[in-house]
Amino acid sequence: MPEDFTKDAMKVLDALYKEYLAKRLNNQNDRDAMNLRGARHLQEMYFESETIERVNKWCCELERDGYLQNVYDGGLAIACVLTDKSTVYMESIRA
């Protein structure tokens, strides 16, 4: 795992990457598949025991380190876009 983000942020990246792969399997082009839902969706689907603030913090952490580009509304990441850096990293650890 890269030293620039936490294990919790890695769990978020893993969840987003799985959604990206599912979109690719459904024949979405690469760029469209990289556009994903934000922190609230992640919290509801994968991290129910965590607060929305914590999940949002992890999304922000991944953006700060270049793995996501987020769209915000009132400070909340409402959409996450995987960067090429994130897909290259995830492909390298799953190879």
pLDDT at 8: 94
Q: What is the pLDDT along the chain (95 residues), one digit of tens a residue?
A: 566 789 999 999 999 999 999 999 999 998 899 999 999 999 999 999 999 999 999 999 999 999 999 999 999 999 999 999 999 999 998 87
Measured between alpha carbons, how far is 9 from 28 in angstroms, rounded to an integer?
25
Structural domains in the chain, sorted by start:
7-94 (1.10.10.10)
Return the closest-CA partner of residue 9 out of 90, 73, 84, 75: 90
